[in-house]
Amino acid sequence: MTKKLFVFGLIALGIILAGCSKDNPLEPQAGGSTISDESTSMGQSGMVAIAGQPIIGHFETVIETFIPIEFINGQPVKFTMHIVGKGFVTRIGVCTVEFDQIGDYSVDPITLVANGVVITDRNGNKLYFDSEGTASNDPVHPTFSGSFTFTGGTGPYSGACGMAKFKGSADTSVMTGEFSFAGTITYNCPA
C-alpha cells in the first residue's frame, strides 16, 4: 500500500518561464524572457507582460519521503510526500522541481494537493505554482492528472500567472515517476 500511495504523489507539476528563442519556442534563451509579442501590457514592476504564452514541460521525479499523517481505524489514509525532480520546460530550459504533496487515499479517485511547488532554473530563479489532481488506484503503475496555477516567483518569474494541465505515471517498485504539462503563462501580471 505504501508503494501505491507514494506514486500518487508524483503529480507533478511543473512549470515555467524564462525567455525562449523567437525562432524556436522550445529553446531557452540565456538572458531571460524575450518580449517580442504584440499583445503585451505593462506589469507591476514596469516590465512588459506577455499575455498567455504557451508553456510545456516534462519532469522525471523521485519521492524522497512518504509519511502517513492521518489514520482511520488504525489504517493510514492520508500521506505527505516530498517529491523532487529534474526536467525541461519551455522558457526555462533545464530545471528542477521540488514540493510537498498531500495524497488522500480515503476517497476514490485519490486526491492530490500541492501548494508552493517550486521550479528552479539554472540561475537559481524560482517559479511557484499550486496544483490539484487525482490518481488511479493501481498499486504498481498508477497514473495521475490535474491542473496547476502559477502564483509568481523570483527574478524574471515574479508576477507570473497562468494555468496548465498535467498528466503522468509512476512505478512504485522503484519509487520513480514522470509527468508532462501544457498550458499558458503570463509574465509580470498586475497585482
Sign of the torsion angle spanned by Cα atoms 147, 115, 29, 179: negative
Sketch out the chain's domains with CATH numbers. 2-19+42-186 (2.40.160)
Model's pTM, two decimal places? Answer: 0.74
Q: Using alpha carbons, list the distances in angstroms from residue 106 to 72, 136, 137.
A: 9, 13, 11
Comparing 35 with 178, the larger pLDDT belongs to 178
Q: Could you tell me whether strands 53-72 and 75-89 are parallel, antiparallel, or unpaired per DSSP bridges?
A: antiparallel
Q: How many separate helices (H) and strands (E) can be counted in the chain? A: 1, 10
Q: What is the mean pLDDT of the chain?
A: 79
Q: Are 78 and 104 in contact (CB under 8 A)?
A: yes
Q: Which long-range contacts (CB under 8 A, 24 or more apart) does 48-51 make?
A: 48/187, 48/188, 49/159, 49/186, 49/187, 49/188, 49/189, 49/190, 50/186, 50/187, 51/186
Q: Using alpha carbons, list the distances in angstroms from residue 25 to 17, 34, 91, 93, 134.
A: 11, 11, 7, 11, 30
Q: Are 113 and 27 in contact (CB under 8 A)?
A: no
Q: Using alpha carbons, list the distances in angstroms from residue 191 to 12, 43, 152.
A: 27, 8, 10
How far apart (Å, rounded) are the C-alpha atoms in residues 98 and 119? 7
How far apart (Å, rounded) are the C-alpha atoms in residues 30 and 191? 27
Confidence of residue 139 (pLDDT cuts 50, 70, 90): confident
In the predicted model, is pLDDT for residue 75 greater than 70? yes
Query: Cell 520513480 belongs to which residue?
Result: 176
In the predicted model, is pLDDT for residue 101 greater than 80? yes
24-58 pLDDT, tens digit per residue, is 333 333 333 332 333 333 333 334 445 689 999 99
Q: Which of 60, 136, 67 is nearest to 100 (CA)?
A: 67
2-23 pLDDT, tens digit per residue, is 443 333 333 333 322 333 333 3
In the predicted model, is pLDDT for residue 157 greater than 50? yes
